[in-house]
Amino acid sequence: MVNQTATTTKMKRGGSHFGDRIFKWLTLLMALAVFALIGLIGYELAIHSQPSIHKFGWHFLVSSDWDPTNDIYGALPFILGTLVSSFIALLIAVPISVATAVYLTELAPLWLRQPLIMFIELLAAIPSVILGFWGLFVMIPWLHAHLFPWLRTTLGFLPFFQGQDYGPCMLAAGIILAIMAVPIITSVSREILRSVPGLQREAAYALGATHWEVTRIAVLSYAKKGIFGAVILGLGRALGETMAVTMVIGNQPQFSLSLFQPSSTLASWIATQFTEAISPLFYSSLFELGLVLLGVTVLVNIVAQLLLKTFAGPGVKPQH
Amino acid sequence: MKMKKIILSFLGCGCLLAAGSGLQAQTLINGAGSTFDYPAFSKWFEVYKSVDSNVRFNYQSIGSGGGQKQLLNQTVNFGASDAPMTDEAMANAPGKILHFPIVAGGVAIMYNLPGNPKLKLDGDTLANIYLGNIKKWNDPKIAALNPGVDLPNLDIAPVHRTEGSGTTFIFTDYLTSISPVWADTVGKGTSVKWPADLGLGAKGTEGVAGEVKQISGAIGYGELAYADQSKITYADMKNSSGKFVSPAPESVSAALATAHIPDDFRFSMVNPPGADAYPIAGASWVLVYQQQKDAVAGKKLVDFLKWAITDGQKISAKLDYAPLPENVQQRELKLLDTIKY
């Protein structure tokens, strides 16, 4: 205890050194630069969106018209496409990732852990354009021949699995995004689970709990806050992903209840349209889509933070 | 030994410097635009070295829209576009812009059917497919055009370019000229509002070709060269004389010869008269300001364009482009002479 106090005083005294003050200001400057960067991006997007904001107003957000011939644009299908494709991705990726993380930290034999972790991290390193190619040429033909007909016969009473399917569609985009989100959620969740104190587990075992009960009561409930954070990181990846989505979603400016229908996300639509946007209003509308994407991302993160706060009690937070 | 090496390396540096200053004496001409033209340009630039070694080209194939925009911003010496500029865009330009047709090409109607039978289609059927009125390959309308072909009971998946494209302009221009319903509901343009809940969008001709190859029952449109290279089957189209014609450089040249071409060269050549003309074809234009800012670069550019429009046509024909007819070449040369430096 005495030792600790001594160290603290020493550090305090050190803080008055000229070099340390420079260091402090320098790091502050760097931290502020991040804010400035986001602010500038938002500002630039807003400036270029002006013609479109001026012309369409709030109507831009609720209109699903995208008509370059008559210069009328609306963002609704892309907002919905972004949210729904990311939601599908999480629906698929979260159970897989959490289960993998639990297996890796709690159940897997030690010799298997390292190779498995390596493979998962390798999955994260695949460039999205390669995943997109794989999606278009390997995954979609398989989905079209096997999974989609099966979904149609078993769950066809739901509006999500009706209507024509060509192959590239919203569901295919969700699956590709899930593949991209799995490594992120898995590795962060694994770190969280690893940081759950061993005492927790031992206490539960001492009470006679089974493997499953230990995992559920002692580990998962303790780590849920952190796992939630991991999911948010995965969501961030899914919301902004462009290349892989463009290749499998079918690129139509429409949103339909049927997941078999082609659609678009904000990011994929900007990417496909940007090079050939000739009319000034068209060009400006694409910038406004970018502004909307920034807004959606910020909003989703705020909602996530609020949800995180409602999880009371002890827990491990993600270190990101 | 060491000394020798050092001297040699100095000599090497000297040579590099000399080469560097030699490069600086060259005129650099910047261009940007159509991806459709890019193969022709890169071949021409290579051959043109032997015609004039003092000129260097830098062409960015960023798309017709980008080419028009960069020309308007005056960041390039020439633009290239698959669609002529609109009157509105020309009015906003800082100077008078001239259009020069540089290559012409056919748009092939590609499809993917089991066994890939050779099909015959007409404009009205094509419009109805892309409007969603014809949904199956064994529709009586398609069957009537193809007696003897065993058409499958398969859904048609119409694929289109998702981004703005000169190819889309040619395609929609053709359907607009044939079908009044298409003209009223969709119209023509580099990007249009496609009928809702129908078909797929893909980026780039390679994207359209990729999806047509992937999806059984798909139909799409793209430059002939692409269809040939990717070995995708394409349809014979019924022309205005009622004859079914396959897309090829010859049938596109025939269309160019009979198309009505105004003096400003902003023309559309879809569905022209003539028994051998392929109906879905278009030109691609080089766009330049009539008043050139830089006299040296301007002169070099005009020389190059004169060469490309005449001698260059024999080279581009090898790349599946249709050569410009003699009378069009002569008219363009006259217009090129009006450029001021």
pLDDT, tens only, B11-54? 444 444 444 444 456 889 999 988 888 888 999 999 999 999 89
Smallest Cβ–Cβ distance between B190 and the set A252, A261, A278 belongs to: A278
Give residue A38's identity as a one-letter amino acid code.
I
Rounded to a whole number, what is the distance in Å from the CA of A256 to chain B's nearest CA?
8
Please report how the helices A76-102 and A170-194 are oriented relative to each other, as an axis angle in degrees rounded to 10.
40
Q: Complex ipTM, two decimals?
A: 0.77
CA B110/CA B224 separation, integer angstroms: 9
A252 touches chain B (CB under 8 A): yes
- Nearest CB to A68: which of B66, B192, B199? B192
* Secondary structure element (H or E) that encloses residue B251, with its range: helix B249-258
Q: Is A69's CB within 8 Å of B199's CB?
A: no
Alpha carbon B132 to its chain centroid, in Å, reads: 27
What digits encode the pLDDT tens for the residues A52-71? 999 999 999 999 889 888 88
In degrees, to the nearest 5, what angle opens at C-alpha A163 toward C-alphas A158 and A169? 95
pLDDT at B189: 86
Smallest Cα distance from B72 to chain A, Å: 11
Q: Which pLDDT score is estimated for A162?
A: 85
B130 touches chain A (CB under 8 A): no
Q: Testing the interface with B: which of A243, A251, A259 to mutate, by most B Cβ within 10 A?
A: A251
Least confident among A162-166, A180-184, B31-35, B143-147: A162-166
Which of A69, A167, A256 lies nearest to residue B193, judging by beta carbons?
A: A69
Which chain B residues are Cβ-neighbours of A258 within 8 angstroms? none
Whole-number pLDDT of residue B16: 46
Q: Which of B253, B244, B228 is nearest to B319 (CA)?
A: B228
Look at residue A270 and tell me whether its pLDDT is greater than 60: yes
pLDDT in tens, A208-223: 888 888 888 888 888 8
A251 touching B, CB under 8 A? yes
Instruction: Choose among B211, B252, B203: nearest CA to B230.
Output: B211
Residue A230 · residue A192 · CB < 8 Å: yes
Cβ pairs A/B, distance under 8 A: 93
Cα–Cα separations (whole angstroms), residue A319 to A188, A230, A238: 8, 10, 20
Q: How confident is the model at residue A311 (pLDDT cuts 50, 70, 90)?
A: low
The answer to whether residue B61 neighbours chain A at the CB level (below 8 Å) is: no
> Contact, A88 vs A178, CB < 8 A?
yes
pTM for this one? Answer: 0.81
How many angstroms separate the CA of residue B62 from the nearest CA in chain A? 7
Answer with the residue of higher pLDDT: B217 or A1. B217
Which pLDDT score, from 0 to 100, does residue A12 have? 52
Count of C-beta atoms within a 10 Å radius of residue A121: 12
Is the pLDDT score of A138 beyond 80? yes
Instruction: For residue A164, list chain B residues with Cβ-Cβ distance below 8 A.
Output: 155
Contacts of residue A166 in chain B, CB cutoff 8 Å? 155, 157, 199-200, 215, 218
How much of chain A, in percent, has pLDDT values that exceed 70?
A: 92
**B81 close to B67: Cβ distance less than 8 angstroms:** yes
Query: Under a CB-based contact definition with an 8 Å cutoff, are residues A232 and A134 in contact?
Result: no
Range A105-112 average pLDDT: 89
Residues of chain B with pLDDT under 50: 1, 8, 10-23
Q: Which pLDDT does position B184 carry in this prediction?
A: 93
H or E, element range at B121: strand B120-121
Give me the pLDDT at residue A238, please: 92
Q: Which residues of B touch A141 (CB under 8 A)?
A: 214
- B65 and A278 within 8 Å at the Cβ level: the answer is yes
Max CA separation in chain B (angstroms):
87
The residue of B82, B161, B192, B203 whose CB has the most chain A CBs within 10 angstroms, and thus the best one to mutate to test that interface, is: B203
Rounded to the nearest integer, the mean pLDDT of chain A is 87
Residue B5 has what pLDDT? 53
